[in-house]
Structure 1
Amino acid sequence: MTQFLPPNLLALFAPRDPIPYLPPIEKHKNHRKLPYTGIAQFLGEFEDPSETPAPTRIETREERKARKRKEKQEQANYKLERDLALWNPKKLASGTTNAYNTLFVARLNYDTSEHKLRREFDVYGPIKKICMVKDAATGKPRGYAFVEFEHERDMHAANKDANGRKIDGHRILTDIERGRTRPDWRPRRLGKGLGKSRSGPSDSRRDDKKRDEDRDRDRRKRSRSRDYRDRRRRSRKFNLCSLYCDG
């Protein structure tokens, strides 16, 4: 096929000139082959194997991680034992008077004031004292408080009804005070606590989501039913108009 190409294109397929021949470079005079010799005369320069020190063992990455994990666990256990020995909720001077009338309120908004909390829980009965827990170093609120009622029945009513209520945009969690009413109870920072056993706010959020989904589903059903009625009405009008026009 190349014989049909024009000369300007045939020039593109022409072979290149051969590579020019160059004589090989002569080796340097110092680069010459020498005969092999033995190394027996150098054996005295080596150290005695019996006097060789044992090799230093280097800690591997897995061993270093395990060691740091163990040290961290030991420090945590020591701190836990120390804090557990110092923890005595019955000797808190700033706490409430009667533990059986005290309600624990958690997951509070940091901007929630004592006046706001008193107004929310005053509907269940007369309140004797409210303790808003704050950080000892910074003075900022910790997000939970203790509400002491004058009567124990009011505390139980608030614990049953206020759990999951929204205060300042946050769903609160309520519970009885367990530090002074349960001898075997310890807070979560000391290795115990209730954890997620009371999932009232989560259930409330789930109920709100289900309620919204049901409301949207009912709205869609009503919209489809309204559209169907409109189509039927327009169809009847069109049929009547066609009947009168034909008649």
Structure 2
Amino acid sequence: MTNVYAWPPVGAVGSEWSRIAPVNRSRSLISGRRYVSAHARERRVVTLEATALTNGAMGAGYMEMLKRFLQGGEHLVRLYNYAINSIFDDAERDTSMQSYPVSWEDGGDPVDWEDDGAAVKWFTGGFVTGTGSTAGGLNFVTVSGYPPNSLVALPGEFLTFYGASTVTTQIVAPAYSNASGGAIVRVFDALVGSGVVSIGTRDTGVFEVLNLPRSVQPLEGDWKYTWSFQEVFADEVPGGFTEVDPWN
């Protein structure tokens, strides 16, 4: 069993969250025609820079303990990412653009809600609904419930769609609401059916460390730990993942 450790409470001062999609390339010697085909699945890659004196000068200690938990790279890390850039204040997003699923419990046991045999999902925060569609090879979600005549989405932001299944995708182009609070948002992945839409969410994945950083402490001032990660999928790990949070 492989442990997946939570990232410690250490903020990043620099980050890269990108994707690699390896391909094979060849060209015909006769016609010059170019041939390209994927030879491996797409993966996310992450670089994080964390400072030693963050979180009350606890950053370096957290980094060293995470390195020990990973045991040279045998174990993995769960990472989260937000949009590449944002012009919105978090409090504004929480009330007008984001919906959060609510879970119910009774004595610690989960409680399921149904309506005529169909599962009922509960949400808190802003309530925005949308319907997915595809046209001309591009994917869209038509949404309603936003403030009128406003910018509601930026390219690179994450959108979570709570439909028959929960899908998090990225927004391709800016989207503006009309006078009625409706908007058409272009997204990267196809969304099927109707559901609750939340813009400004975050992406997550499980990653292996490509290098365990070593960082020299200077006589004075702050110093950095630079991490490089590559995504790992559950079906690649015998026995699957065991999520562990040693920081709380």
- The TM-score, its normalising length taken from structure 2, stands at 0.20
- The TM-score, its normalising length taken from structure 1, stands at 0.20
Higher normalized helix content (fraction of residues): 1
Higher normalized strand content (fraction of residues): 2
Larger Rg: 1
Q: Considering Cα pairs closer than 8 Å and 6+ residues apart, tell me whether 1 or 2 has the greater RCO.
A: 2
